[in-house]
Chains A and B, each alone.
Chain A
Amino acid sequence: MKYKEMRIAGLLLAIGMVFSGMAKAQDTIKVGILHSLSGTMAISETTLKDTDLMMIAEQNKKGGLLGKKLEAVVVDPASDWPLFAEKAQELLENDKVAVVFGCWTSVSRKSVLPVFEKDNGLLFYPVQYEGEESSKNVIYTGAAPNQQAIPAVDYLMTEVGVKRWVLEGTDYVYPRTTNKILEAYLLSKGVKPEDISINYTPFGYSDWQARVSAIKKFGSAGKKTAVVSTINGDANVPFYKELGNQQISAEDIPVVAFSVGEEELSGLDPKPLIGELAAWNYFESINTPENKAFIQQWHAFIKNPKRTTNDPMEASYIGFNLWVKAVQKAGTTDTEKVIAALPGLETPNLTGGMAKVLPNHHITKPVYIGEVRADGQFNVVWKSSGTIPGEAWSRYVPSDKNVVADWVTLKCGNYNKETKKCSGQNYK
């Protein structure tokens, strides 16, 4: 009798477990991924989607988060900026995702910003950008200008002895704002206005012969000259090809780029580029155990041992880990509580040191400067001592220098210290 009762009880328990198991399987945490999978930006953004999927799979292997599995919701905004806003709304309102990892270009970020603020969502943005922004609902895990552009210019000025500057960029918000900051910075360091040449070309520009010849001429004035390149995406390949063809070597006029990494070089013959510089917060060639493990994990996930890793991938990795820690700390995925939990959290970088979320929703990052080598990787020739905290507002731009972002005490992304006013979410 007793035995039978036990059997029934056991059966009931088993059934109960099955049901609760099913209930658990249905109860997942949804993670939105908002990267272009088609159109011009697909080249760069597809990789980040894969990185996010890899991180989610990895977390699920560890048992998920708060006892729930993570479920990726992937949408394709197709490199179309207004579509970014629509897709963001879809993720936040229909799919009710707990967090979104996404965007690449600044214009796509600007497009989704009002949506995230209206629906009180949470976006992790993994790409280096121009600053002049800090939103309550965005964590910027890529470099601010003071974590990439300024150290690169410093390196050229002090270590290479550059006296004359060409600021060459693609015509949109990131290069224009970065160059504004750099110009102000160079002038503050005593560079004469006639030693700075600023020029913009359209997206996907391919006829570089006249520009490169102009750079050559500008660089032959007897002072050491360097090019600071914020040329974006596709235009880089013909630009470097033309440099090679006109025989401007990195020893004569070095080019330091902020948008050229391992991924971009993989579509190029690196021979004519040897010695050209790039400033990033991560290089695949940096030899740390964390980085080795990450690269191995990536190759296993993508099933291609030749795929490279790059800086925005590391920023995605950091962003994901920060979010996981914040959810664990808050004990919930409620965005309000997760956002409150984020400042002060730390997670290791792949190249050493810790990435710490600051009150301005930027993070601390190490800065590296690398020279292209023959295999398409970078030799690190300079690194910052320790990590550098990200600044949303540049101290070198007159209109920005009194503005601070602080989401812990001031609860404002653009607080003016002089007028003591939070100018509201007045995004340019």
Chain B
Amino acid sequence: MPSVRLVDVVKRFGTITAINRLSMEIPDGEYVCILGPTGSGKTSLLKIVAGLTVPDEGEVYINDRLVVSMPPEERGAVYVPQQYALFPHMTVLENVAFGPLSRGTSEDEALRTAREMLEMMRLGHRADSKPDELSGGMQQRVALARGLATKAKLLLLDEPLGALDARLRVELRHKLRELAKESGITAIHVTHDQAEATAIGDQIVVLRDGRIRQYATPFHVYMRPQSLFVAHFVGGANFFQAMVAERHSDGSILELNQGLLVKVQDNTYLPGEEVVLVIREDRVNVAEPGEQIPSELYNVVQGEVLSSRFLGEFISCQIRLANGDLLTSRTPTSKTDRLLPAGQKVIAHFEPSDTTVYSYPPIGLTRELRVL
């Protein structure tokens, strides 16, 4: 039975609608990441589930019980804000024991549970420290221990790794997921970092302007983004303005700038329609002249390298195609660690199955994709 269910939830702050008729189900035991830019309503969503914010409309169910009027302390859902909110005047041990104590457990019992939790987090030796004496990563573990000590089954994490250095984030995110799985709890993890969401979520909920744009596994969000926004927000992609030239049962032919023809797998749009063609950066193959390439008629384009960048795991290449469009490719360093020089002639090619097509946005492509 689902652990959390929202039905047509609406939340307004003055004239701004933070959550716009949102419905969502999160099954028991899942680690779900809510991904979206700042202002997309992610924190409001979490606070509504926690009971810290009351929605203007809609219903919230936790374990199939309607909880809209239930105060936070009775919901069994622990909220961990970005800065962890450790109580500065209490020791680490007192912090972790706070939950059980507040719920009526005896002091002995509460302290025992607290010590157990701290041992599990390998922080037993810091039980008597004050929160500000601990590093960022340790504070995070204390915050988690404090939440788990209440035996709550629902963990609500608001940008739990946001306060940490980039490298530390990568190291600790897997531990977060491990912890949730080992404790058998349902976790809702809010973040603006798509690499993070992709790395640890069972499911990703992509949020924009208070509405769900896609709810799927990381694989599906990446391979089959449902909208331009999702395609742009999750992982790097190339966007081309195009028009449908032909439509067949197994795909379509699109016409790009200067008449360049591309074959795609999608066939939902009619000839003459304005569309946007999306190809993921790492689905573009770059071959130097003389290299072997598939003998497909379509999707092989001449181009010239504008610049190459070394990104560590990948090499990113900006290519000016023969038809004037700009293409960015991403090649794993394990395949080649050669940086192609500017001016190098190359051949870019890609499979029709690696493309997705969307209708052309009314406000124009540049504005739709604007992030800055």
Same complex origin of A and B: no
